[in-house]
Structure 1
Amino acid sequence: MDHLLHLDRTLDELDPPHWAPPAADATGLVRKVHELRRVPLGALAPADLRTLVSQQVALPYVLPLAVRLLIEEPLLDAYFHEGDLMLATVNAPAPAWILFPDLRAQLRAAITALPEAAVARLPRGGAEDLARFVTPPEMPR
């Protein structure tokens, strides 16, 4: 399924079940994620995608959107710092990428094309996160 065909629909529509409103004492992050599930996919900003990916919400729908942005601008500053969307995306759990081998390959290519100086400016651990994503896992013997 091409998950980019549903840009006019929300995660609550595409990723059942519909989430109930957050509890009255929910954190700001929980409230934000609940709110983002009611926004049409095409209206999600880079910061929204970073939040959803880092919280591992509806990854089959948000990973393709994030990768589409990252292919154009790998070190996009979505909210916190340069490369924050990239780091959230490469840290998505490995099973989330099973549906998207082509997107994963495109993202790997974008990462390997980054200048070393740009990678060195990432927050502590960022270069390692990118290297771990780019390096294929070893096959069990």
Structure 2
Amino acid sequence: MNRKVDETKSLEQLEGVKWPAPPPDATGLVKASYGLRKLPIGRLNAHELSRLIGQDIGVPWLLPLALDLLHGAAHDQSLGVFYDDDLLTAALTRRSHVWRSNPGWVTKMKEIISALDDISPHIQEDIQKFLKESGSRE
């Protein structure tokens, strides 16, 4: 999905699916995910995006937003801007078919990776797996 999405809409509106209330015994993550689906996607912060993307919720709409956030932060690191490790990990670890079907996203992720300084060894492993699964030889 490469078209521009109305960021004033929620995932429920974009998907056209309203989830029922979470079960009473649901975990905090599940309850939070249900609630976040009701918010306009343009209002979601990096932490909220990483929670949803990490659960494979709304990936076609949220991953482009996450890539935009990460791209800006990676290029502004020299100005002291913090990039979110959790968001980067959530994005990097999406299934390979997500990346293979969206080559523009792969290009953007490669730009993010190349702009980042001081990447933790754990995330380096995720980067190598991403590059391998997305068809890169880097």
Q: Do Structure 1 and Structure 2 share a fold, with TM-score over 0.5? A: yes
Residue-by-residue CA offset, 1:78-130 (whole Å, 9 max, x unaligned): xxxxx221111000111222442112211112202323xx11xx2x5221101
Q: Distance in 2 between matches of 1:94 and 1:72?
A: 24
User: Is residue 91–residue 129 contact of structure 1 (8 Å, CA) maintained in 2?
Assistant: yes
Q: Distance in 2 between matches of 1:53 and 1:3?
A: 19
Q: Distance in 2 between matches of 1:18 and 1:10?
A: 10
After alignment, is 18-27 or 99-108 more displaced?
Answer: 99-108
Aligned Cα root-mean-square deviation (Å) = 1.9
SS in 1 for 2:5: helix
Q: Greater helix share, 1 or 2?
A: 2
1:128 counterpart (106, 125, 129): 125
* 2:66 corresponding residue in structure 1: 66
* 1:90 corresponding residue in structure 2: 92
> How far 1:18 sits from its partner (Å)?
1.4
Unaligned runs of 5+ in 1: 78-82
Q: Distance in 1 between matches of 2:131 and 2:100?
A: 15
> How far 1:12 sits from its partner (Å)?
0.6
Say if 2:27 is the partner of 1:32.
no
Higher RCO, 1 or 2 (CA under 8 Å, sep at least 6)?
A: 2
Q: TM-score, normalised by structure 2?
A: 0.82
User: Is residue 5–residue 61 contact of structure 2 (8 Å, CA) maintained in 1?
Assistant: no
SS in 2 for 1:67: helix
* 2:18 corresponding residue in structure 1: 18
* 2:78 corresponding residue in structure 1: none
Q: TM-score, normalised by structure 1?
A: 0.81
Percent sequence identity over aligned pairs: 30
